[in-house]
Structure 1
Amino acid sequence: MSRPYGTGVPAVAGGLVSGVDAEARRALVREQAPVWNGIDSVEVLVHDSGPADAREERAATLLVRLLRAPAPGLLSARTVRVLGGVRPDPRLNPVGVVWAHRADAVAGGGPPPAGVTAEDRTLVERATSGAPGSRDRVLVVRTDSAGDWSTYVLALTGDDGSGPPAGFDAPLARAAFTFTVDCPSALDCAAGVPACPPGTAASPVLDYLARDYEALRTRLLDRLRTLLPDWTDHSPADPAVTLAELFAALGDRLAVWQDGVAAEAYLSTARRRTSVRRHARLLDHRMGEGVSARVWLAFRTDVDGWVARGTPVTEPFDGGLPPETVEEALAAGAVVFETCAGARITTALNALDLHSWGDPDHCLPAGATSAFLRHPKGLSPDWQDGHVLLLVPRDRAGTRGAEGRDGVGAARRQAVRLVRAPVAHEDPLYPGHRVLEVHWAAEDALRVPLPVTGGLDGGLPVTLAEALANAVLADHGGTVTETLAAPGRGQGARPRLGRTGLAWTESPPVGPRSAAAALRPDPRRAEPRIVLDDGLRRWSPATDLLSGDRLAATFIVETENDGTTRLRFGDGVSARRPTPDAPLVAAYRIGGGSAGNVAAGALATVLTRPGLPPLPAGARVANPLPAAGGTDPETLDEVRQLAPHAFRFPLRAVTSADHAEVAMRHPGVQRAVARRRWTGSWYAQEVALDPLSGADDPAAAASLAAEVAAVLETHRMTGTDVRTVTPVYVPLEVVADVCVLPGHRPGDVVADLARTFSAGVLPDGRRGFFHPDRFTFGTPLFLSDVVATAMDVPGVAWVDVGDDDERGLRFRRLGRPPADEVRRGRVDAAPREVLRADSDPGNPERGRVSFRPRSEP
């Protein structure tokens, strides 16, 4: 099918010219002014090949249809103008008129007018073939350019170029059109702008602060009264009032959601715990969810047996029917603990008396790390290093304080961990017993003195203390089982636990340094105690899902402010997605926080738990010591304060000061000093550690050095070696004369001075003058401190401290000549040196302090 040589469409139908509705104007002119003429439409003919030269811009042919036929010769190229579109200046992109003739003259049978070619005649004949009789009302205009994409105006003027032609209506003497008739457009060419736009109703005054129910209800009712002036029934039963209240309630809820979405987007304004946790995680801060308390349980049994891991114990119930299961105890509001590991309990380890070797008034001093125990020869306690003993006192009548509720020596109870195997001895005073010598960790040194014996009974000392050796560590939380709803197929499905208060516990340490360290769980290492089982695999909690592969059966635990817990699973890319519609069986523990820091004697009932073997016959349980270490979760305000600081916290060690700072973050390090040394091939950082206590214990020192070295390994720079060393201990020699006041025995005064200037713990719990924790790297010994401390001892009149070989006075380093220390008033220590004076006769190389009494000045 061939395309016509020329086609045309009306350029503007019903458009506005100078703000006048052309369609309405034409109708009026046709009916009421039949003598007037005007433009009906303008049609642009599309050329397949124009008569103009191909090298020049293609010309255009316009068909201007008039309402009536004009007088002959009235319209010509002189009276037709094409005004230039969006450019008011006609000199810019001008469109000129080459010729203008009536269609009957162009398409007639006579000779063509000037400038009209045969192709022009054919084009006009085809365009006006539908109504050849009306060609006298059509004006053919040839332009020298096709213009651009803007809208043009075709204007008919008089001979002088101003005003409309004679007999033409002025508004209809102009018509808008465009040359781009062959470009497709989805716009309606007949669409026009109404002459007078409809009026807009006055909008109500908006109050953007009206966001709650009462304010929204008031505004809605006010608006209804304005729109419905005849509405007078404003009672709550009126349907309009009911609808207004419904919309007000909906608006209140939407306002809450809008405020919540905006608030949860920032750490400083977030109110949901999950949002704060995620914001803090972006700052490399893990929100602390707290940690469960721990306690040492003492079991007594009539038959040897086994205590399984997870054995639950709870509070004693004096009245009513005591609970038997964990669910019943939790429903009653009781505190439940479960053992951290399995342990064998025997009758031989129920209780072992402390031995005094016949001393009727023996007492283990504060700071003691060894003792003697007595047990019948027929019983053989089988333990090695790492075994834990609970040292408890009892009164002279033999009443034990193991239960912790009798008030007997509550402050003297202490747990100790053995650091070596016991050594067996024989005592002829007790032919039927064996005596075991036990040593425990320096960190478990007695805090206060522990009386061992008091008086005689039948010629033998009365024992006032015993060791409970069936000790098992337990932490707060009771295990319950629940079947959760299936997660569903949506990625946002998060099952919720039916109980609140999920317990977070730290995995029990393997071979802790001391019994005291076992009661200090680290909240930063706490993990939620929950496991899931969907029948195919076992799911375990993780810190995040980004580090796991797509097959990892892990999930995230998210706890809200009210204690509810939701579980978030992976999407099949970073972690495994659970099987849709498969129920999950959850086993989790309820407890944790400071609520688990129960007092001594608070636990005395053993509960049953499905799947665990029962305890041996006659087994009883108690907690002689209080539970400790329970920490509540971090509050939102604490996270907001800590998270930014954690982000700025340096995670690298470059300089020597950086290495020392990292080492001092360990809780067992009092101070650390680092220096950069050349090894002969490369540089290495040598970090000297000054522990808080237990420096003389090789096992504790080695364990501390290994832990600090592991931390430094994660912070050091590549290519730098790091090693830990012990301090350079400098022994001191201090010999002084003391004048004793009348009425005081010189021997007692000297003994008090020896205790005051010792390296241990005094009977009242204070540390001695030369206790290891009082001197660290670079700490000098001041002469004034020695004199002031000695003068505080009762019975001391004055102290003569100096450095005189003839008089035997000393104030210097041991084995060194005097270096003017007395004149300067101090003994200096280098940055890597630690001063010490243990006054231990068995180790004289560790320094000594002695006082010589004088009865008169």
Structure 2
Amino acid sequence: MTDAHGRPQARAAGQPVGFSPVAGLDRDARKALIAAARGLDGIDFVEVLPGRPAEPGRPGTSQQRTLAVHLVQGPVPAWITGGAARDRIVLADGAGNDPMADPARVLWAYSAEEVTGPDPLPGVTGDDRRQVDDAVPAGVRSRVLVVRTEGGGRSVHTLALVGEDGTGTPQGIDGPLAQIPLDFGADCPVELDCRTPDDAPGTAASPVLDYLARDYEGLRTRLLDRLSVLLPDWTDRSPADIGITLIELFAYLGDRLAYRQDAIATEAYLSTARLRTSVRRHARLLDHRMHEGCSARTWLTFDTPTTTDLPRGSAVADRGSAPGRRPPPVAEAAGAGAVVFETCAAARLSRDRNRLPLHAWGAREVTLPVGATSAFVAVPADADPGLRAGDVLLLVDVGALGGTADGDPARRCAVRLDRDPAERVDTLLATRRVLELHWHEGDALPVELRVSTPDPTDPRPTTVAFANVVLADHGASLTGQHLDPPSVADGAYRPVLRRPGLAWAAPADPAPVGDTATSRGWRSATEALRPDPREAVAQLLLDDGTLRWTASPDLIGSGCGAALFVAEPEADRTVRLRFGDGTTGRRPGPGAVLTARYRLGGGTAGNTGPDTLTTLLPLPDGTLLDGIAVTNPLAASGGTDPQPLPEVRELASNTFHLRRRAVTAADYTAVALGAQGVRRAASRSRWAGSWHVQQVVVDVEDGADSFAPGLAGLLDTRRTAGVEVELARAVVVPLDLRIAFCPGRGHLAETVARQLRTALSAAVLPAGGRGFFHPDRLALGRPLLLSDLVGAAMAVVGTALVDVQRFARLGAGEAEHRANLAAGRIRASERETLRCDSDPRRPRFGQIEIVERSGP
């Protein structure tokens, strides 16, 4: 407790002397009544002067031995000062009659004016004068009684003013205010306020608070309720009142602060985050990359009257200007709602590549079957289409009339040549050259294509190949765009693109021809129209006049000088950019102005139909390529919207459940089987003398000259520490089999033999099943059981009896055949795979002979 001057006061803590206190007496109210009365006084409060400990060269003053008793009105009466103080001032110890207690005694008592005055007083030293002069203000010294005590322990005391006989209440002093409890200890320095709360802990009822009422209206109501308690006389609720204005201001700020606190707590967890940026970062911590969609792709065909160089980024749209008017620029067309595609590579358009008719060699009603990977085209003798391996052609059914609109839209295919065309000679066409085309097996025809009409008098071609073909993806480029804010300020620079709808596109570069292992990119024309949204990157470039900044999925692992940034789109398609901090990624220099070149588009909106992109827009420099016709015979595909947040939460949460390590032999086998081009795999652990070696044996697909792409690196990232991985190629063991059968009654031997060859083949059966010797049914190291072979043969309808006459490896002698028949199996080691393709063109892969049994 402190007085009006901020000094500590003694607190009430015991029972008074010579007076029975009134229960529940309000001392403050009583003092107010005494202050209004005349000729009556009492004790207001008691101040314990702390004193100062002695220091070298500086004498100290007594600590907690001097009491400053403040009266309500004053002045200090003369009968209480001087020598009479010992009889008229009583200090009662709370310890009672305890003989071990040191009772407190009064040595002297004077008014503060007397103590600080010039006249000497008995027992008062110079240090006492300085102590009282520093502690008691001059304006109140007339009503302050300074009491010097001696003795007294650490207990509650009661200071009382008594009558001449040591009892009762002095004349002119109010009875209830003639005494006051206090707590002090002589010569015991205390620097803390010793006041305790007036109410005991837990006695005050806690108000019922609604911690959810943190919006503007709830906070405003709470503030008004509180002020009604503190300022009951203030009842003005006018909006013009300054108090109401301040309350509403505080309620607004509280509402904003509460919203920010809730938002921070919400975005802190993957399951509750609502912003795409927050979900993306949480998922990245779980090693899951969230994609932002992908732009659609399509193949464009151009018809040009002359040789023309088409630059990369040439734009086409599904709508243009009015007939006879110049097409609008790219930005204007995109702003008008047109679907704009831009070419992914530069190309040289040639008149000789406009239309290449398929050649039927004079036959009528010729068709290319489903699965075909080759065809012939006829070109004029003086023309040079310049076809090379890697070129993409569009095979389009144009019908009997020769127009694109006259053909069947479902009979259109894109193919990529996997070798240079071979020139053939048709002696019936002296004025034309015939080129044999062969394309990638991934572009095997999904539908039949008619090559010529059934008219014997005019077998004109009904399918033509367009060779002026360029890949394009969805997106309209904008150049010279400023960010918001445009210049870099001190601190973190987080600008926003001024136009929403940034396009994300997967890399569109093709892989080298014939490459099936190491390079990224599409290998077939069909694969080019299936972009992977997980590989899509933001179509955005920044330039600050010195450096070119490129987009990156994240800045993890980036050096301090890497000019990279991360584009972070939100649900409304606005995009905010995040740069490095100078340690992970480069920090833009203060004051730098970055200009942006980006593309708008992407998503499923780009999956436009065929023959819709027919308007060639001006080039970025304003040049318009006149006389060139363009269209997209195939529908655009691959356009993907940004990944939904619920899907991201589910996939990211399951990331830890994926096994990305190899411990057992089965784990290594599973990793190897997951690699592209691996048909079978097996693994075993062996001791190399100083360490463990995990030997992985793989059987790659036909035509592969080496192991599957990246298999060694994949196994190295999955292996257990301290285990070395050894790759080995499986050894193919061809078989030599001979089966004699007896047909059942009512079945032809030729029919049964044909069915047996089909059932025991290595091909896919017409009904969708697999032959007995299909590679998927033969595991590494698995022996061939005689009972399995006989059971598969007897399962063929019409087979009455089966006799296996040869049963061994290719080239084995008769002794091995007899031994295998007796054992009932052909054994294989862990690195061997049995094979019996029974293909006359490839006898090295095994053969099976099926004959009708003669005799009993």
TM above 0.5? yes
8 Å contact kept, 1:757–1:769: yes
Q: Deviations 1:51-106 (Å, cap 9, x if unpaired)?
A: xxx9xx9897547877442699977599954637xxx69979954447846789xx
**Matching of residue 562 in structure 1 with residue 560 in structure 2:** no
CA distance in 2, matches of 1:612, 1:139: 100
Partner of 1:298: 301
The size of the alignment, in residue pairs, is: 791
Q: Deviations 1:537-558 (Å, cap 9, x if unpaired)?
A: 3222122235334443322211
Partner of 1:480: 478
Partner of 1:802: 802
SS of residue paired to 2:710: helix
Partner of 2:421: 422
Partner of 1:111: none
**Matching of residue 311 in structure 1 with residue 311 in structure 2:** no
CA distance in 2, matches of 1:95, 1:730: 111
CA distance in 1, matches of 2:676, 2:533: 14
Partner of 1:637: 646
SS of residue paired to 2:270: coil
Larger deviation: 769-778 or 331-340? 769-778
8 Å contact kept, 1:38–1:173: yes
Partner of 2:554: 544
CA distance in 1, matches of 2:256, 2:537: 36
CA distance in 2, matches of 1:741, 1:244: 105
Partner of 1:338: 342
Give 1:530 shift: 0.7
Q: Deviations 1:810-854 (Å, cap 9, x if unpaired)?
A: 787656666999999999988766665544322112234676699
* 1:327 maps to which of 331, 337, 341: 331
8 Å contact kept, 1:366–1:765: no
Give 1:490 shift: 6.1
Q: Map of 1:172-571 to 2, 5 A cutoff? A: 172-174=178-180, 176=182, 178=184, 259-315=262-318, 323-355=327-359, 363-395=367-399, 397=400, 399=402, 403=404, 406=406, 408=408, 410-411=410-411, 413-418=413-418, 420-453=419-452, 455=454, 457=456, 463-481=461-479, 482-485=481-484, 486-487=486-487, 489=489, 491=491, 494-509=494-509, 510-511=511-512, 512-571=522-581
8 Å contact kept, 2:676–2:709: no
Partner of 2:519: none
CA distance in 2, matches of 1:392, 1:789: 46
Larger deviation: 300-309 or 270-279? 300-309
8 Å contact kept, 2:89–2:159: no
SS of residue paired to 2:298: strand
Q: Deviations 1:208-235 (Å, cap 9, x if unpaired)?
A: 666789999999999999999999999x
CA distance in 1, matches of 2:721, 2:571: 43
- 1:849–1:423 CA distance, 2 compared to 1 (3 A): farther
- 1:223–1:670 CA distance, 2 compared to 1 (3 A): farther
CA distance in 1, matches of 2:663, 2:365: 57
8 Å contact kept, 2:314–2:342: yes
8 Å contact kept, 1:487–1:494: no
8 Å contact kept, 1:777–1:831: no
SS of residue paired to 2:708: helix
Percent identity (aligned): 39
Q: Deviations 1:223-275 (Å, cap 9, x if unpaired)?
A: 999999999999x9999999999999999887766654442222112222122
Q: Deviations 1:440-487 (Å, cap 9, x if unpaired)?
A: 3333334445454565745x9654544433332222222123333315
CA distance in 1, matches of 2:608, 2:332: 19
* 1:590 maps to which of 600, 615, 626: 600
- 1:557–1:79 CA distance, 2 compared to 1 (3 A): closer
Give 1:336 shift: 2.3
CA distance in 2, matches of 1:76, 1:637: 86
Larger deviation: 844-853 or 258-267? 844-853
Give 1:613 shift: 6.7
Q: Deviations 1:710-752 (Å, cap 9, x if unpaired)?
A: 43444445665546555444545575769699999968x9889
8 Å contact kept, 2:161–2:178: no
- 1:97–1:246 CA distance, 2 compared to 1 (3 A): closer
CA distance in 2, matches of 1:765, 1:364: 23
8 Å contact kept, 2:13–2:156: no
Q: Deviations 1:548-571 (Å, cap 9, x if unpaired)?
A: 344433222111112222223344
Q: Structure 2: where are the runs of 5+ without partners?
A: 1-5, 16-24, 70-75, 116-120, 513-521
Q: Deviations 1:753-773 (Å, cap 9, x if unpaired)?
A: 8788776678x8968747967
* 1:623 maps to which of 601, 624, 632: 632
Give 1:311 shift: 1.7
8 Å contact kept, 2:398–2:406: no
- 1:78–1:366 CA distance, 2 compared to 1 (3 A): same
Give 1:45 shift: 9.1
Q: Deviations 1:328-353 (Å, cap 9, x if unpaired)?
A: 43234333222222223333433444
SS of residue paired to 1:502: coil
TM-score, with structure 1 as normaliser = 0.72
CA distance in 2, matches of 1:454, 1:578: 66
SS of residue paired to 2:497: coil
CA distance in 2, matches of 1:686, 1:377: 58
CA distance in 2, matches of 1:569, 1:211: 35
Give 1:531 shift: 0.8
Q: Structure 1: where are the runs of 5+ without partners?
A: 1-8, 109-116, 792-797
Give the residue type in structure 1 aligned to 2:467: A
CA distance in 2, matches of 1:329, 1:194: 79
Give the residue type in structure 1 aligned to 2:476: G
Give the residue type in structure 2 aligned to 1:554: L
Give 1:528 shift: 0.4
8 Å contact kept, 1:159–1:165: no
- 1:680–1:335 CA distance, 2 compared to 1 (3 A): farther
Q: Map of 1:677-716 to 2, 5 A cutoff? A: 683-689=692-698, 695-698=701-704, 702=706, 705-716=708-719
Q: Deviations 1:398-456 (Å, cap 9, x if unpaired)?
A: 626xx5x55527256242341x3333333333334444444433333344454545657
- 1:220–1:368 CA distance, 2 compared to 1 (3 A): same
- 1:426–1:557 CA distance, 2 compared to 1 (3 A): same
Give the residue type in structure 1 aligned to 2:341: F
8 Å contact kept, 1:15–1:192: no
Give 1:804 shift: 3.2
CA distance in 1, matches of 2:506, 2:145: 99
**Matching of residue 845 in structure 1 with residue 844 in structure 2:** yes
CA distance in 2, matches of 1:644, 1:223: 47
- 1:430–1:44 CA distance, 2 compared to 1 (3 A): closer
- 1:723–1:454 CA distance, 2 compared to 1 (3 A): farther
TM-score, with structure 2 as normaliser = 0.72
Give 1:635 shift: 0.1
